[in-house]
Each structure stands twice: as structure tokens, then as C-alpha cells.
Structure 1
Amino acid sequence: MTLASVFARVFGADLPVEFRAYDGSRCGPREAPAAVVLESPLALAHLAAAPGELGLARAYVNGHITVHGDMYTALTAFPPVDLGDIPWRLRAELFARFGWYRFWWPVRPPSAEKRAWGRRHSKSRDSRSISHHYDVSNSFYERVLGPSMTYTCAVFDKPDASLEQAQYDKHDLVARKLGLTEGMRLLDIGAGWGGMVMHAAEHYGVRAIGVTLSRQQAEWAQRAIAERGLSGMAEVRYQDYRDVPESGFDAISSIGLTEHIGREQLPGYFRSLRDRLRPGGRLLNHCITRPDGSYPARAGKFIGRYVFPDGELEPPGELVTRMHDTGLEVRHEENLREHYALTLAGWCANLDRNWREAVAEAGLATARVWRLYMAASRLAFERGGIQLHQILGVRPDGGDSGMPLRPDW
């Protein structure tokens, strides 16, 4: 059994991907749009030490497996295969052939892999988890996200709309759903680089406060706010949303934060936001969700250790229930998962176009993590494995919701 032929036996011989290995073996069509290459025995050592997703990710991040061509194209060619799907006879044969690699060539996880410590979703652990993902480098994010510096799902009026226009349209959709008008006060939690607060201040005359647990994001946002002449209207603080002292806001936007909250903290999360709204104020919760509640909320091993430590996705019904149970009346919901697939396609293209600069800024291992994570996420959104829901709620003022009879956004 040659090394390259192992892939064909596990995934099928008719995949439109070429496999090559350091022993000179190859399998699959040579004209394939993507090729997977085992660069050294250490690739097999990683797989023997951690069979499945984690071992493959470690081998790729460490450079012992490389993917030539487009990562998304390569991933779409693979059928979903779990270790349990591999026949026992083949598993035994593979272990006998390659299991000793973990002892002959012992390997360690890449430095990019992080294991969280401390009480889950405590303020200190949340701060470290957010910093791990968002404090990579502002320059790195500029190369991936583009000029908008917006790291959440865009909204596309048409499939070929530019990423910048789609991010503008997302911010404007949120503003219109919240019913923003001049003179209102907005709190944006998980504010990132300040895109929403600047949009609300500049285009709606709203006084906007944003908070983030990334110090680098807050510093970048404050500079951008000053450069756009919005210092009197907009602010982004390095602060936990639980520590915001102000209340009585007309509107709150939470765009891409709920994924970091955790199921057990949802009641307190929504209660905290409700308490900061004035009666009649609206909340727009925008976050990645899972299609149903039949499997665990916690992220897979690769995402959990390399991308979003402590990340948890909830089904939309869970979020709606928690909002209602804390006194927020849900008025509208929509799923934008196709829009996130298009957003990720734009980010992947940016990373590929700026690959050398991104590697120079953040290092090869981090760039590889992002290449794999974004391409895999795009595929998951396209196939419905994960979704993106916007849920609009209001804190009722007695029986008056303040909502229009029909959506006016």
C-alpha cells in the first residue's frame, strides 16, 4: 500500500483531487484543480497521534501536509468521512501500517494551538479567548477583511456585489431594523473595529458606544473614529459588555458576539442587554447558529483550539426562547447563511491575493489556520451545517412595542 493510495482507500478512488507523498507515490488525476501532498513522515505521525480532524489540521498547520491550488476547491472534493465510517478491516490495516509513526516520530501540536484554562466564560478567560483570535494583528486583518475591517457576515443585494458594498449594506440593514434616527443612543457590543458605531454615527446621527475585549481592535477603532471626524459621536472601548455602566439606550446591536457567550450564560446575557434598553428600545442579535439542538454546542477540535476557544453555537430556537424568557419580545428573524458563504469567499480571495504580506505579518502557521478555517466555514454555510441568524427583539413599553405594523426596513 503506497502512501498516496491510502487517501484513495479512505475517501474513494474517484475524487477530483491528486494525492502525492514524499515516497514518490501519487494517486488521482494529475490535471486536478487541487493537490494534497504529504511532505514528510511527520504528517503520518500527527495522524497517528490524533486520528481525524485534529491530526489533519496539525499536520497542515505545521507544513507536513500542503494543499496546492484553491483550498475551498480541495475541501469540496472530499466527502464527509468519520472514523466510524471506515471499515474495521481497513482501520486495522492502516494502524498496522502507520500506527508506529507516533512513537518513531513523536510530534507536538503547533504553537498556534491554544488550550483555554480557568473557569469557562469567566471574564478573565473570555478576555484571553477573544485576544487569542482578534489580537493577531490589525495589519493581518486589513489584508483579509479589506477596507471595511468588518469581521461579520455581510449582506449581499446580488451575488456579485463587492464585499465593501455588502458590509455597508449589512450595517445599514441593522440600523434600519433598530429604527435608528438622529439623536438616539446606540450600544454596540462586540464592536470589533468600530464599523457599526461609525456607520450609525455618520449616516444616522446616532451617539454610539461600542465595546470589545480586544485591545488592538479598540485602539484601531478609536484612531479610525478620529480620522473620520466622529469623535464627538462615536466611541469604542476596551471593555466587557457586562461592565458597561450606562443604560437607557434606544437600541443595542450584538453582531457576532453571541458565539462567545455559552449556553449557560445566555439568560444573564439577554437580561443584561434588556436592562440597558429603555422601554420600547430594540435589540438586534446577529450570530452564527447550528441547525438544530441534537448535537453538542461546543466547536470541533480544530475550531476550538485554533480559531475560537470556548466558542459555542446555539440553535435559533434556543436564542428566541432565551430572549423571550428575559422579557424581550421577538419581532423578526431571518437566516442569512448564504450571505456568510459569499462573505467568506471574499475573505478567502483577499487572503490568497495578499498571502505573502499576511504570512510576513502573522506567520505561516497563523496564515495556514486562516486559510483552512475560512474555506471550511464557507463550505459549511453553503451546505447548511451552520447558519447565520438575525433576531430582532424589543423591550415592551407596557403593551406598546413601538414596532411598525409591517417591517419597514
Structure 2
Amino acid sequence: MKKNVLIVTYYWPPAGGPGVQRWLKFVKYLPEFNINPIVYIPENANYPLLDQSLIHEISPDITILKSPISEPYKFARLLSGKKANTISKGIITETGKQSKMEQLMLYIRGNFFIPDARKSWVKPSVALLNNYITEHNIETVITTGPPHSLHLIGLKLKKHLNIKWIADFRDPWTTIGYHKELKLTKSSQAKHKQLESEVLNSADAVIVTSNPTKTEFEALTSKPIHVITNGYDTVKTEAITIDEKFTLAHIGSLLSKRNPKVLWRVLSDLVKARTEFAQDFQLNIIGSIGEDVLQSIEKSGLSTYVNNVGYVSHEEAIKYQKQSQILLLIEIDSEDTKCIIPGKLFEYMVSNRPILAMGPEDSDVETIIKNTNTGQYFLYNDYNGLKKEILKYYEAFQNGNLQTYPIGLQKYSRRSLTESLSKIL
């Protein structure tokens, strides 16, 4: 008999973006390990990104529970329009360049909605799930955040019921980069810390996506902490022809602080100095991009080389990954982002295209890329190293032998990762 496990998640198809992938894939493979996942989601979520193509990945055999949610971002859009949508995507303008409306919205978001704007879903969810868990003999509940308010659902259920509760952190809570942009008062900061501590010390187990996050949480709790990274899934696509131009492609969000000005300077110098490079080069940007980043690219004289595609479905993103010459992976240059491993890294790794990554020193991303032989990693101040590597890639492109020779990727497959999860369950 399969074990029933209740999974509480905010992001679920037709939601797009990286937040939906982790548990969509776990749910896909859990039945293979004698576990029956029951998924609880908001009925009318106001997702900032939509991807209808993901709906077909949901098995008709999976039980989906839904209940209504009140979404403050809907009302915020009536006042600020586009700005509310960009904030909900995590795109925050640099301090000093924010409009008064954006400053006000960030203050309200940070101090009136703790831990986040989905907090109103906690109380009705607990009322519904209390009865459902008892009636359907559910022994294990998993909550996944962000939004971290969903962990408060697990916290309250744990107090009321005899269940095993696992809190899955796709990102850290109080140390994630954007947390500092929320203009928190001291009392609001203390409230976040208190809730984080309650969750970490009340859950029976905690799952995180990186070793630095595990180290961070070990200082806050003695509860068992397991690292299960994100990963890749096998995706069947039509035969894809690699781009004829020397394309550098960034797939995903380029936030304001994720702005590698040294890379734009290297590329600008190369197109100015080498006519042949200028003729071959193209910068593909697939996904949301901050205005600050676009302005930096324009100031570098690269606008004519940019193909700004915008947001595409996950299926289309996979195609861009496989057809691009070089894949760019850019992380914010901060101590706080050493623990962030973007989900797209693993899909990049199985695309058979070289990865050119930038971020803080000693990050998990750097270690994974090095250990899998899937690309090169650079710090934000390494102009010479970047230039040398791009020229090396360009020479290989001209010779028709630009490719990668990855090793040790199997452990990052979604099925293998789900097997690790099943052992915790």
C-alpha cells in the first residue's frame, strides 16, 4: 500500500518560472517509490508568470486539493500597474533609483505582510487540512517555500495533529538577497527571525537545496537537515540545430543586482577590436530583465547585438538552451548568494553547451560546474579571465568544435533526487 504524503505548495501549473519545477518533478516520480503525493494549492493564485505547457506534466492520477487565496498583488496593480508585477517577480530597482511608489510598496510588503503577501492563506488552509489529514490517514506533510508563509501552515498543523512535518526551503528565509530590500523595521526583522526559528525548530526535518544553506540553518536548529538540490529532467525535443551565430544566451530573470558590467565591457571591447567577432556575435536574453541591466548593456554599446526575447515557456527555454553556443549563468555578487543554486544550472548542464558563469567566490555553483566539467566560473572583477575564455570559446566556434564533455550528471536527475527524497519520507 502506498504511503499518502500531503504537499503544500503555492507554485503549480499553470505557474511558470523556476519555483514550480521542483515539486512538479518530485510529484511526477514519487509514485515510483511507493508514495502517493496529494498536492494542496491555491485555487485562484495570481502568478506573475504563466506557462500552460506545464499542465500536461501533471498525471491525472494525482489528487489536487484547492482553496481560494486572497492576493494583495492584484490590488497593488490597480495602484501601480507594471511596478507591482515586477516586484512580484523579484525584480527590484537599485536603492537610490526607486520611485516613491516602489519604496512605499516595498515598505508595505516588508512590514505589513510578514512573512510574505500570501499570509492570509494560512488560517483557511489549516482549517481545511486539519479535517482532510484526519479523514485520509495522512501521516506526513511537506511545506515548500518561498513563499515562506506556507511553512506556517505546517507549523500550525504540527501543533494540532500527530504528523511528521518536513519543511522544504527552495531559498533561504531571512538571508536571501531581496530580504534586505524590503525596508524592514527592527520589529519586523525580529518577527521574521522569530517565525524562521519556530519553523526550523518545530519541523521534524528540513530540506534545503545547497550546502551553505544547510550550514546556515545548523546554527539555528538541531533538527536533521538534508540537502536535495534541484535537478534536470529528461525532455524529448525535436532535432535542434545549433545557432549559426556566436550566441551567448541568458535564460531566466536578470535582476537589477545581477548585472555583470565587466562582462558587458569585455564584449564591448571585443566587438570594437575584432570585426569578425562583431559580425558573428549575438546576445540572447530570454526572460525578465531589469531596466538597470538593459541600460548597462546600452551604455556598453551592445544594444544592436541584443535579441531580447522576453519570457518563454519552459519547453521553449529548453530549445534555446540546446541551440545556443554559450549559456550564461549570472548570480548576484554577494555573500548571501553563495548558497543559491539556480534550477536552470542543471538543465544547462545536460544541454551539451558550455556554461559561462559569474558570481561570488566559493559558491556551490562554482563547485558543481567544476566537478561536472560543464563550463567555467568567474568572479565579477576578472576582466582578463573572461576575455581570454570568451576568445577561447570563439576560436572553438570558428573551428566547429565548441562542445562540452560533462561527467557525473546522473545524480542530479529528477528521478535520482526523488529517490533521495523518498528515503527521507
TM range (shorter): under 0.3
Larger Rg over CA atoms: 1
TM-score, structure 1 length as denominator? 0.26
